[in-house]
Amino acid sequence: MKVVALVSGGKDSCFTMMRCIDYGHEIVALANLLPLDDSVDELDSYMYQTVGHQLVVSYAECMGLPLFRRRIRGSTRHQDLSYKVTPGDEVEDMFILLNEVKRQIPSVAAVSSGAIASDYQRLRVESVCARLGLVSLAYLWKQDQTFLLEEMIQRGIIAITIKVAAMGLNPSRHLGKELSHLQPYLLQMKELYGINVCGEGGEYETLTLDCPLFTNARIVLDKFHVILHSPDSIAPVGVLHPLAFHLEHKSSISSLSSSNANIYDGLEKLDHIYEVQGDGLQSCLVKCQPMSLAGNSDMANKSSLCISTFERDTFSVGCWSQSSSKSSEGLWEDLTTVLRRIESQLSKDGFDWANVLYIHLYISDMKQFALANEVYVRFITEKKCHLGVPSRSTVELPLHQARLGNAYVEVLVANDQSKRVLHVQSISCWAPSCIGPYSQATLHKEVLYMAGQLGLDPPTMTLCAGGAVAEMEKALENSEAVANCFNSSISSSAIIFVIYCSASLSSSEKIKLQSIIDHFLRERASNPQKESLLIESNPIFLYVLSPGLPKGALVEVKPVLYVPENREDEDNLILPPTVCTEIPNYWGFEYSNIRDLCCQIYTIRGKACTALISITKEIAASICFEADQSIESFQCYGSEIHMKSIAKLCIYLLDGILVEKNFSWREIIHLRLYFAWELSVTADVLSHIFSEILNEFRELTGRIDMNKEPIFSIIPVLGSGRSASMEDIVTCELFATKS
């Protein structure tokens, strides 16, 4: 991509440009924001470094690139973490500046910035980029600062300190010093006082005088004086004010201005400088077509709902269409119908998209993924989700074969708005970006719902080479990077992993995937350099076979984590495996005899319970044999009488798990029934069977509250199960939490 680089004069913005070139991008322009008054060194700004701005004018000559500059007219008016367009805010100066760059250089597609740890700055750059249709590149984001500093020095960045404001840093001794000389001292200050060695906490700021990108000339600072802003005895604050400089051309040493010339004389001698003027708020917002909540009654009649419950603080709503068209128009119509129906249901019960935590987007053809996204963004936008857009996973399922149309959507809804969202749209080396209205992860009431993670190389956003094993390793690394942002780890805090596998995988590749996951989690849990954040856990694994995944991936990982607010009693959270012998027997089943054969359970005491019930062909045969002793083929298990027997076993086991772990049916967040589409039964028939058996069980026990709609989701798959063989006929996934 062609990139305009935001430059402040500091080391970070320069090193980000070097990283952009490393990953194949081309820097075509520079952009800088500076104070209205040239004599002012530093503004009271949360966004911009302006100390040393007097020398940034030379970057155009040093790099042979056009430099667009704008004087900052705005101030900090919108101080919330997530930025909303605010007239008169300093962010609007960046918008006007970059908008002019885009106007003059239409080929510009991306913006680079030197953000390392500041969400405040990153989110504002991302906001401006989204409004202008540009990609944000932040290759230093979340990188280890010790390694970054070492790499900057090793790769030839010559930068001096121009501001110090931290314990252990003294203006008289440390201003104007090169980073290479200060590096050992900065590392020592990190050990003593915990400072950020790259200055991300405001400890110091730098000015780059030379680097490999300065192909034409280097900057020589001839004269300066130190201004002491705060003589604090513990952490004095001082800045270096430049008085004179000149350029030394690298091909033939010459100077732009004499060593005793005024620093501002250089501006008139450069012909690559563009002063960007203009006031007022310009609008480049992407506008979405408003969607009517009322919708079309005929379209609504073509959709069906399932709702876990509306009587608790978190619940699920699923919706699918009943269309038979396989065309792109069919997907557009079906997904529009489904999202409108969900939106209408949410509105009816006093909710909206801001209440949604997570979205499962199932489509019938992954080749129409771009079209599905186009429909998706007409409903779910950042404007509608002021606390952050929900996380999402997207997979292809055999919907048509199960007569579920082209689109099936499940949303997880909270009746409060206390969620915490991680939404990083910048391309970086940290984890894959979310280009669009979905987030990497959403935390709500101590449960972290993570978006589906592919084996993408974060800086290039391409699938890593090496096949399924390499993709799985990278997907797990990406998941760990996201978990770390919540002071957590997938090796110690995961409740369940759902692993979507492409149908193109061989049996041996599937087995390798399972061993890779086990090895990855054991290695992270035993790493002495990484403090365990909960305790070593034993999460549940659910494997699902899919016809296709986004970007042609071979695997997609979707972890759910428990992230406790209070870690003092965390050792008592996870219950050891127990068997309850007091659960009554129904329909001839005895819980203690079949629990371990079919069930995998993971419970966090008094908090959450997740479980899988795995009905294999062998188990199905054993319970169906009495009903029909002529069973010989897999297809026979799809007969109504056999499916009723399987449904009875599933519901009996689900109830036993809830009773054993002291949960109720009312506390279920979601209940998914994955079934092999090769069964000679449609989703509608299977849904009817399970609803009928649930009603029968309710009459037997009185423990189930039934809605008008089903309380479970029916998910057609190519295969599913607790192991990578994925040979279950039916797999039940249960997740329940205490209010």
Query: What span, in angstroms and rounded, lies between the C-alpha atoms of 720 and 695?
Result: 26
Average pLDDT rounded to a whole number, residues 104-130: 95
Q: Which of 401, 361, 428 is nearest to 116 (CA)?
A: 428
Residue 722: pLDDT over 50: yes
Q: Judge whether 463 and 553 are in contact, CB under 8 Å.
A: yes
d(Cα 508, Cα 163) in Å, to the nearest integer?
A: 58
Q: Nearest CA to 180 among 9, 8, 6, 11?
A: 11
Q: What percent of the chain has pLDDT over 90?
A: 68
CB 52 within 8 A of CB 12: no
Please state, in angstroms and rounded to a whole number, the distance separating the CA atoms of residues 639 and 621.
Answer: 12
Q: What is the pLDDT of residues 138-155, one digit of tens each?
A: 999 999 999 999 999 999
| Residue 295 predicted with pLDDT over 70 | no
What pLDDT shows up at residue 329? 86
Which strand ranges, in their side-by-side order, compose the sheet holding 713-717? 599-604, 608-615, 730-737, 668-676, 713-717
pLDDT tens sequence across 184-224: 999 999 999 999 999 998 999 999 999 999 999 999 999 99
Go through the chain and tell me how many residues it has.
739
Identify each DSSP E strand in 133-194 by its residue range.
135-137, 158-165
Instruction: Give per-residue pLDDT as tens, 258-273.
Output: 333 333 333 333 458 9
**Cβ burial 580-589 (10 Å sphere, 16+ → b, else e):** eeebeebeeb
Give residue 312's pLDDT band: very low, low, confident or very high (50, 70, 90): confident
| Domains within the chain, CATH numbers bracketed | 2-252 (3.40.50.620), 306-417 (3.30.1330.40), 418-566 (3.30.1330.40), 594-629+636-738 (3.30.1330)
Query: Does the pLDDT of residue 78 top 50, yes or no?
Result: yes
Give Cα separations from 44 to 33, 40, 50, 92, 175 (angstroms): 14, 11, 10, 16, 20
272: nearest Cα among 106, 99, 64, 70: 64
pLDDT at 659 over 50: yes
User: Coil, strand or helix: which one is 557?
Assistant: strand
Where is average pLDDT lowest: 245-249, 386-390, 619-623, 638-642?
Answer: 638-642
Average pLDDT over residues 451-470: 96
pLDDT digits (tens, 9 = 90+) for 469-488: 999 999 999 999 999 999 99
CB 358 within 8 A of CB 444: no
Apex CA 432: angle with CA 429 and CA 433, to 5°? 100
